[in-house]
Amino acid sequence: MFSELKKLQNILIFFSGLSVLFSLISAILVFDNRRFLEFDGLFFILCCLIVLVPIGFIILTVALNRIVNALISREMSLIERIREIEKEQEKQAESLTDNKKSGALSK
């Protein structure tokens, strides 16, 4: 069930790494070619994009990691609870059979 989410998480980690790498390259190119940019607002916009895109991918990766871990821990607790309920049912079934046997012996 969680294998698809793990694959998605690995893809996001890959794209986070790529975005950081390309952001570094973009930052170098933007700062080297700053004098060719006629508009300082464009420089500001490019700098914001250089910073925000990798941060966005990293935030998505961390959020997905937390969601997957929460789902896995919840599933594990549910499985544990189901096992406890099965054990209780087995004990109740054993006590019922013991009561029937003792009732049959007393008659």
Chain segment 25-73, per-residue pLDDT in tens = 988 888 887 777 777 777 788 888 888 988 988 898 899 889 988 988 9
- Which of 9-18, 32-41, 74-83, 97-106 is the most confident on average? 74-83
- pTM for the model stands at 0.67
Query: Residue 107 pLDDT more than 60?
Result: no
Total number of domains in the chain: 1
Are 14 and 55 contacting, i.e. CB atoms less than 8 angstroms apart?
no
Dump pLDDT digits (tens) for 64-83: 889 988 988 999 999 999 99
In contact, 62 and 12? CB cutoff 8 Å: no
Any idea what the Cα angle at residue 42 is, between residues 18 and 50, rounded to 5°? Answer: 20
Instruction: Show the domain range for 56.
Output: 3-106
- The CA-based dihedral angle spanning residues 9, 15, 19, 22, taken in that order and rounded to the nearest 10 degrees: 150
